[in-house]
Amino acid sequence: SAAAEAAAEASAASAVSRTPEQAAAAAWAWWRSIGSPTRVLAPMVNQSELAFRLLARRHGAQLCYTPMLHAANFASDEVYRQDNFDPHPSDRPLVVQFCGDVPATLLAAARHVEARCDAVEINCGCPQGIARRGHYGAFLLDEPDLIVSMVSLLAS
């Protein structure tokens, strides 16, 4: 929505120089701009594709997440994007979740969806062995400086 875009632009423009109180106020403003959802469908491996999200919305979900998408594949492979991201006007607000560990690659992936979602999230919670091998998910928590660099670049 236009309100969500305006809130996101204002948030990004002041991300570097704002106080924690200003950052919190911007985050709450964004949350209100997407309707202050209380029923959220979290990302689920092999379950959060469009058909399931639309079904969940029919049963009350107000905010949905995509399944985890690999930022490197998404940034560089048109076929991967077409196979794994199918936006729909009824599927908003929507958060796209990426996994990765290279800030510039995450940004490149996010650029492909920025006009078709309401937020981008970096997966920092996946505990599976594949996340360890791929250096993403919960295994980034041991590297807070890397997480800060990814978030800072996406917010700028």
Residues acting as catalytic residues: 126
Q: What is the DSSP string of 26-63?
A: HHHHHHHHTT--S-EE---TTT-SHHHHHHHHHTT--E
Q: What is the distance between the alpha carbons of residues 86 and 114, in angstroms, rounded to a whole number?
A: 13
Q: Between 103-113 and 144-155, two packed helices, what is the crossing angle to 10 degrees? A: 40
Query: Can you tell me the distance from the alpha carbon of 153 to that of 32, in angstroms, rounded to the nearest whole number?
Result: 24
> Which 8-state DSSP code applies to residue 9?
H
d(CA 29, CA 98): 23
Q: Are 60 and 39 in contact (CB under 8 A)?
A: yes
